[in-house]
Amino acid sequence: MDRFFEGLDREQKEAVFSSSRIVLVVAPPGSGKTRVLVARFLHLIERDVAPSSIVAVTFTNRASLEMKQRVSTLLPFPPHTLNINTFHRLCLGILRRELGGFVLCSRDGQIAHLRELGIRNPEAGVERISRLKNLLFHGYRDATRDELELLSQYQNRLEERGELDLDDLILRTIRLLEEDPVLLETYRERFTHILVDEYQDINPPQSRLIRLLVGNNGGLFAIGDPDQSIYNFRGANLRGFLEFREHYPDASILTLSTNYRSAKRIVHMSSSVIQKNTMRMDRAVKSIRDGGDVMVVECTDEKDEGEFIVREIESIMGGLTSLTTGREKEGFRFSDLAVLYRTNSQKDALREVFSRCSIPYRIIGEKDDSFKSFADHLKGITPEGVSLLSDLIKKEAILMGMDEGTTELLTHRASFYDTLGIEEGLRRFYEDLLFMEPQDTYDVEADRVTLMTIHMAKGLEFQVVFIAGCNEGLLPLAMRDTDLEEERRLLYVAITRAKEKVYLLFTKKRRMWGEVRETPPSRFIDDIPRELVTMKRTARKKTKKRMKQHGLFE
DNA sequence: AGGTCGGATATTTTT
DNA sequence: TATCCGACCT
């Protein structure tokens, strides 16, 4: 364990060993955020804090699972005894204990309710309801009468059925703790140290929940990167970060400044992009590795873009192309490569190209994901005559032909509940399925190129990243109320996933909203110093003039 | 149950 | 222009 601490740099140590009750760590991409969080956990244990008194909160199942595994391999505590959870699961635990019987309303359940209430677009309605609930929470009073009416009808339906939706888990927990000071005190005594990951993603209710639990004596260790705040549209904006000092006047605010992930040219390029934002905590990021490649590629249209990516992957992986060009193999696996895009609508063109070549690939977030059908299948099973839940899951997963990685993850999750006796265990497992999304279970070990939205890629890293659709209208995405700074942060997140190579691809035209349009390159490309990038064109057409127009060439 | 037609819709989505 | 959904048909 001492070895583990020795591996930390000066800034990381300063954060990990800080004696302040309240600590906020600004952690740029690749600066060892999870490592620091895990180290803080170990440090608290070393200071004789009981593991059960530490609560670590993350936003995603993926992050909580990763942290749980990392802590439990370093400490002699079995994973299920550690309070490392998503916000929602933490609240679910509190409400199960304090409120008892209620049913979770899944996203599909929400859609069904809204459909029965006569909503035209129930999927979008789910988001509206969620936004409204969270806005009303902090005193937003501009909701229209129709909105309030819909919300009250929806809420009535939930209440009639004894259901809570995902937002309710947070909101009801806050209400419960605020209305019952004795209970609040109990939880403050139980959870004396709180660790929060990806703090930039915190929304006002979550921020309030943390403040409630921390109180005047609790310890808080929050870590995140305001430059990677990309969930504004869900109510998670920079305020949580920028107002930290107001919420916690005696906080220590520390900064990490070394990016261990990306090569120098990529770090410089990403900095030059993000520096154009005005709403940010300024900071310098150092890189420790020389080199890195940044390529800006002009394509004719989205088909051409996809074909370029596929050809480039074949070349990188040492296919036929590399033999003809004499390029050496660079020793990458397919899983070292990712194709990122702003909108899911872009994946059709990419799927079309990938499906016709021999490159193994995987698209995260496909609607007909096998995970979802497996989850539905499991709900129909009665656990008669099964002694271990994990055995049941394994058997069914093999029967359904799930891939090995997903099967292992689900079995691992189920094994937490084997001790609870198959009914209770199964109920808890079903709740887990409700919280799980395809991206939680995707087999990271599988050697495939990963295609996904930029949002999904946060927290991941790859040797080579292709960013498709760096066009005006797409990145930045044209919306009624486009937040340019948030769009720039999205590009920043995408770029900083790359360790060695990053490709920014834009097209001259592309099909958008049902028609082929001229699409200028993203304005963000102008923010990149030309000496850091290599310009490429896929077509032999006379495109130089256009590039000149957009200031890409002298 | 499964098939086909027409009209609406098309943007990001941790839990 | 491609996809999805509901309405209607068999």
CB atoms < 10 A from the CB of A78, how many?
A: 10
Q: Which nucleotide is nearest to A436 (CA to C1')?
A: B15
Question: What pTM was estimated for this model as a whole?
Answer: 0.89
Strand C reaches within 7 A of the A514 CB: yes
b/e A112-137 (16+ beta carbons within 10 angstroms → b)? ebbeeeebeebeebbebbbbbbbbeb
Mean pLDDT for A526-542 is: 78
Q: pLDDT band for position A75 (50/70/90)?
A: confident
Distance A345 CA to B14 C1' (A): 20
Tokens of A442: 């995707």
Beta strands in A306-461 (DSSP E): 337-341, 361-363, 449-453
Would you state the pLDDT for residue A506? 93
Mean pLDDT for A306-335 is: 73
Strand C reaches within 7 A of the A3 CB: no
Would you state the pLDDT for residue A401? 66
Q: pLDDT band for position A423 (50/70/90)?
A: low
Closest by CA position to A455, among listed A506, A493, A484, A499: A493
Residue with more model confidence, A357 or A262: A262
Closest by CA position to A347, among listed A468, A250, A446: A468
> Are the beta carbons of A244 and A24 closer than 8 angstroms?
yes
Nucleotides in B strand less than 7 A from protein CB: 9-15
Among A21-35, A54-68, A218-232, the range scoring the smallest mean pLDDT is: A54-68
Nucleotides in C strand less than 7 A from protein CB: 1-4, 6
Residue A339, sorted as left (phi over 0), alpha (psi -120 to 50) or beta, turns out to be beta
Among A45-54, A134-143, A258-267, A350-359, the range scoring the smallest mean pLDDT is: A134-143
Chain A residues 312 to 371 with C-beta below 7 Å from nucleic strand C: 348, 367
> Are the beta carbons of A509 and A521 closer than 8 angstroms?
no
Question: Residue A144 above 90 pLDDT?
Answer: no
Would you state the pLDDT for residue A387? 66
Element (H, E) at A464: strand A462-468
Distance A92 CA to B4 C1' (A): 45
On average, the pLDDT of chain A sits at 84
Tokens of A439: 């991206």
> Are the beta carbons of A216 and A185 closer than 8 angstroms?
no
Torsional sign, CA A525, A526, A532, A534: positive
